[in-house]
């Protein structure tokens, strides 16, 4: 590493890794910085991020995984629970919720 100022310590394992402070700096990031629970910036190397993803996925139930996929696809419009909300009226019959790509003009 030519510039030791681009090294950051991983909060998961304590190893040092390359993390650019600005996108116009050269090099490849070997981890990421995220906003932690206490709203502070936490830095993790890629192996630790991969491990945390595996642990979080393993702890999820099938229903949790389905809800996570729904949130990724639908964003803020995703249901909060797997059970339908009794106060939400059903969509009108014969109308699709989403428009197909080939139908869009």
Token pair 């080939």 is found at 102
Domain boundaries, the chain: 4-75
- Res. 91: pLDDT tops 90: no
- Which has more confidence, 43 or 102? 43
pLDDT at 10: 93
3-state helix, strand, coil in the chain (%, to 5): 35, 15, 50
Tell me the CA distances in angstroms from 17 to 45, 49, 72, one per residue in order: 6, 13, 29
Mean pLDDT of the chain: 76
pLDDT tens across 38-82, in order?
Answer: 778 899 999 999 998 888 878 777 777 777 788 878 877 776 665
């Amino acid at each position: 590493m030519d510039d030791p100022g681009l090294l950051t310590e991983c909060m998961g394992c304590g190893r040092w890794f390359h993390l650019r402070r600005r996108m116009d700096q050269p090099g490849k990031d070997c981890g990421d910085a995220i906003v932690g629970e206490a709203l502070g910036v936490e830095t993790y190397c890629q192996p630790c991020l991969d491990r945390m993803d595996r642990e979080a996925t393993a702890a999820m139930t099938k229903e949790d995984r389905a809800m996570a996929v729904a949130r990724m696809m639908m964003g803020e419009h995703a249901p909060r629970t797997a059970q339908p909300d009794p106060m939400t009226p059903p969509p009108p019959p014969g109308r699709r919720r989403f428009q197909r790509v080939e139908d869009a003009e």
